[in-house]
């Protein structure tokens, strides 16, 4: 008597099982983390390759600017880490010809820029702000940043940290901002210096800056929120 054979799965039945198998993989924590990490890495790589430094974020007229008192405060630890503004110096290090400490007076010898651009927070809000300062690219030129360097790492007075690709750092709208709405930058908004990056999401725009390091490779600490699972590129 012939032994009954189990029914053979059809191609259609196998295809029906793929979503179930995929869900099982994603429900497993290790695989889920791996899939997310690889997805973010792919997204960052595509964003970096498609970034065009010749293009600009939209500028806005003064009449379109959000009133200063409606510009949200969104700090990492506190609204004021109590930096001694009189003693503050910007420590610039790494792959530069002229490392050292730079005062605001040193930086303000560079051409000043004023721009009205949109600040977009990943939490879902956005505002149009009025910002003034100096181009980060001009600072990199001033200190003789190595043309082959790939990154700028940013250190902050409240222990926040961030890093940028060099194309974004040298973009002509990327500012080291020391002024908002025609007035000196206030403590709660990041004095003495904050980043203004109209091509990036808000969490990339670090405040209370105390140091810049030009590098060719990033260390373990790439960015505070990046290290919590956010996109490193953070582009718009």
Interval 54-79: pLDDT, tens? 899 999 999 999 999 999 998 877 88
pLDDT at 52 (0 to 100):
85
Name the one residue in this structure whose structure tokens are 């001033």. Answer: 142
* Tens of pLDDT, residues 159-209: 999 999 999 999 999 999 999 999 999 999 999 999 999 999 999 999 999
Interatomic CA distance for residues 6 and 11, integer angstroms: 16
> How far apart, in Å, do the first and last CA atoms of the chain sit?
70
Interatomic CA distance for residues 165 and 84, integer angstroms: 29
pTM above 0.95?
A: no
Q: What is the dihedral of CA 135, 139, 141, 146, to 10 degrees?
A: -120
Assess whether pLDDT exceeds 90 at residue 47. Answer: no
Query: Is residue 156 located within the same domain as residue 210?
Result: yes
Please check whether residue 85 lies inside any domain of the structure.
yes
pLDDT at 78 (0 to 100):
83
pLDDT band at 14 (very low <50, low <70, confident <90, very high): very low
pLDDT at 79 (0 to 100):
85
pLDDT at 53 (0 to 100):
82
Query: Is residue 124 located within the same domain as residue 80?
Result: yes
Assess whether pLDDT exceeds 50 at residue 90. Answer: yes
DSSP string covering 62-117, please?
GGGSPPGGGS----SS-S-----TTT--EEEEESBSS-EEE-HHHHTTSPEEEEEE
Query: Is residue 38 located within the same domain as residue 121?
Result: no
The rounded mean pLDDT for the chain is 87
Query: Is residue 23 located within the same domain as residue 67?
Result: no
Range of the domain at 20: 9-50
Q: How many structural domains does the chain have?
A: 2
Nearest CA to 165 out of 52, 48, 38, 55 is that of: 48
Question: How many CB atoms neighbour CB 73 within 10 A?
Answer: 10
pLDDT at 29 (0 to 100):
64
């Amino acid at each position: 008597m012939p032994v009954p054979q189990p029914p053979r799965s059809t191609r259609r039945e196998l295809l029906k099982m793929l979503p179930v198998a995929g869900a099982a993989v994603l429900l497993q924590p290790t695989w889920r983390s791996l899939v997310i990490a690889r997805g973010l890495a792919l997204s960052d790589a595509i964003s970096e390759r498609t970034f065009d430094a010749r293009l600009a974020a939209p500028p806005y007229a003064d009449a379109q600017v959000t009133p200063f008192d409606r510009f949200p405060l969104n700090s990492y630890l506190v609204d004021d880490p109590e930096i001694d503004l009189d003693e503050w110096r910007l420590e610039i290090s790494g792959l530069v010809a002229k490392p050292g400490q730079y005062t605001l007076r040193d930086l303000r010898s560079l051409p000043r820029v004023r721009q009205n651009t949109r600040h977009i927070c990943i939490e879902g809000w956005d505002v149009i702000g009025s910002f003034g300062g100096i181009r980060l690219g001009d600072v990199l030129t001033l200190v003789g940043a190595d043309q082959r360097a790939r990154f700028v790492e940013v250190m902050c007075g409240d222990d926040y940290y961030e890093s940028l690709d060099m194309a974004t750092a040298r973009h002509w709208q990327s500012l080291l901002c020391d002024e908002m709405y025609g007035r000196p930058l206030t403590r709660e908004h990041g004095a003495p210096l904050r980043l203004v990056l109209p091509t990036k999401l808000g969490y990339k725009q670090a405040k209370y800056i105390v140091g810049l390091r030009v590098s060719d490779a990033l260390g373990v600490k790439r960015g505070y929120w990046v290290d919590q699972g956010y996109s490193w590129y953070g582009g718009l």
